[in-house]
Structure 1
Amino acid sequence: MSKEVKPGRVLVVGSINTDLVARAPHLPRPGETISGQEFSQVAGGKGGNQAVAAARIGARVAMVGRVGKDANGAQRVKDLEAEGIDCAGIEIDAVQPTGVAMVTVSDDGQNTIVVVAGSNGEFTPEGVARHEAAIKASDVVVCQLETPWDSVHATLALARRLGKITVLNPAPATGPLPAEWLPLVDYLVPNEVEAAILAGLPVESQSGARRAALELQRGGARNVIVTLGAQGAYLLPEGGEGMHFPAPQVRAVDTTAAGDTFIGVFAAQLAARQPLEGAISLAQRAASISVTRAGAQPSIPTRAEVESAA
């Protein structure tokens, strides 16, 4: 991080997975068996990915979550520590295995993902309470929905009580959020599919993103950012006018973790007290680099790479 920018503290509370990735010419249709071209096993999980993205852009990052007492869990913690991430908040589950995501990536860069929660599913509100000191020490607290919803709500509520900036990436979204959630969220960052599910409105364009963002803001979210893939992102700030941010044009190889890269970099910029528009632009540049590379965490760029691509 440049001398002019003081890095802030980002706490990511969420999922840690091992990704089992198969590359194939196209995504299989129901009942179809196809031949894959390549297989890899890499670090993943939305929480872990977002923590790595925040760390590589220059934030001081801590991770709270749960892994199994197995080889995957030990390796995931080792991977995060290698990024300089404080892993004191990662608990070991003696019963459930480390979470796994089975990912298929097509030649055009699209993917399908099946997640088996494993130890992520055992992260409870009591677990959140055990890590109050970590929340208190942070500037920004980031959550997703790959851990039980009651633990996510407990995290947002505790972070709000402690006066922290909260970022919620509502993924995967399966339906509208409980009414009491959105007032706890400073920055709600869904993609177009998630925004449509949360708002109950179609999101197929910038105007659709605006309508969904307005609905979610009426529900209590202070700021809403709808990421639109190759179409960029739409920001509806608290008390301000909406704004569209075009995405850099790149050739996508693998879109896995692009959204997580955006979230992590954006959170890091918030923690460093950087202007909102600049935070979104930097996050977009980082995400655009990530889609040109294969894998989840292996695709996430460093600050030097993002700045050199500007």
Structure 2
Amino acid sequence: MASEEDRFDIVGIGASTVDVLSRVDHLPAMDEVMQAREMVLQGGGPVSTALVTAARLGARTAMLDAIGDDWRGDQVRAGFHAEGVETRHLRIRPGATTATSCILVEATRGARSIVYAPGDAAELRPEEVPLEVIRRARSLHLNGRHLAACAAAIPVARSAGALISFDGGAGRHRPELAPLLEQVDLCVVAADFARRHTGLEDPHAAAEALLARGARIAVVTLGEAGSVAHSRAGEAFHQPAFRFPHTVDTTGCGDSYHGALLFALLRGEPLRQATALASAVAGLNSQRLGGRAGLPTMAEAAALLASADGRQPTTSANTGK
């Protein structure tokens, strides 16, 4: 039986990782040994980072995942606890290892190379999903990890009137995700994912195709070129990215964009204002090494939005970027 403590703005189902990030002068050649300018260890994962983003902005969030009982799993939970993300519903697999990523970030350009070890904590099973927690959540956030668990959670969230949100990152498209995407309300995908899923190069056309396949709001993120957003209400516009003198690291920027967008929409913000906040949050996040170190508070994001130099007005779809 769920308690009052189990009422959340966002419940996420996805993978929780430990990221080991090194900022280097250049990506190393074969057999080269180099000293890092900076090295950090942080929690990571697309859904996880979106939840941390929303929590830092002020949302109540909870993570559903299966992780190991190793030191990495301890690190994952500690990172969530520090940000106020609820971990009581995480499943801990005895003897299993938790997913880890090693990320090299080139200091001059922010370009990255990533090596990923998925760990061996088995998939979250449908019977492990706390359905009463899903039923009481305002939104359910997914990226296609733990597909069977997602399939169990979606009908419960739908019947309760929750907003169902999907994050499709670059390089993460899989054909078996198609049925899931037909059931989401908010679909935010990278340009690479949009092309592979819809077969369309133009991001505006791809966003319209996502609406036709079931989404109420479709956003295609374009990296430093910003994002495009379309809705069934007839909105269609381009949101420029916020510009900074130097980008330190883009790890987690797409995830933080999605977390901030979902937070703003749940607050009742219009789509244009929500994408502006999401863009501001992602931009601020790029100023620190790692996917979470640069995540702003609501006050910090609002200050950027209000600053004369920080204003990035949206442009309509028919005028281009």
| TM-score, normalised with respect to structure 1 | 0.87
Q: Report what 2:165 is aligned to.
A: 167
Paired residues for 1:176-255 under 5 Å: 176-202=175-201, 208-250=202-244, 251-255=246-250
Q: CA deviation at 1:118?
A: 2.0
- What's the counterpart of residue 139 of structure 2? 140
Question: Quick check: 1:121–1:148 contact (8 Å CA) kept in 2?
Answer: no
Question: Structure 2 vs 1, CA of residues 20 and 89 (structure 1 numbering), >3 Å: closer, same or farther?
Answer: same
SS class of match (1:122): coil
Structure 1 counterpart of 2:314: none
The corresponding residue for 2:287 is 292
In 1, Cα distance between equivalents of 2:20 and 2:135: 35
CA distance in 2, matches of 1:150, 1:113: 27
How far off is 1:288 after superposition?
0.5
Deviations 1:197-229 (A, max 9, x none): 222233xxxxx1012112222222222101111
**Contact conserved, 2:93 with 2:121, CA < 8 A, in 1?**
no
Contact 1:179 1:219 (C-alpha < 8 Å) held by counterparts: no
| Greater RCO (CA < 8 Å, at least 6 residues apart) | 1
Unaligned runs of 5+ residues in structure 2 are: 1-6, 306-321
| Aligned match of 1:281 | 276
Q: Which amino acid aligns with 1:110?
A: A
Number of matched pairs: 295
Q: Which runs of 5+ in 1 are unaligned?
A: 1-6, 203-207
Q: Is the 8 A contact 1:42 1:295 kept in 2?
A: yes
| Percent of paired sites with the same residue | 29
Alpha carbons 1:173, 1:197 under 8 Å: kept: no
What are the within-5 Å matches in structure 2 for residues 36-115 of structure 1? 36-37=35-36, 38-107=38-107, 108-115=109-116
CA-atom RMSD, angstroms? Answer: 2.2
Amino acid at match of 1:287: A
In the superposition, relative to structure 1, how do residues 144 and 241 fare at CA in structure 2: closer, same or farther (>3 Å)?
same
2-structure distance, mates of 1:217, 1:122 = 30
Shift of 1:101: 1.3
Cα distance, 1:95 vs structure 2: 3.3
Q: Distance in 2 between matches of 1:188 and 1:120?
A: 27
TM-score w.r.t. the length of structure 2 is 0.84
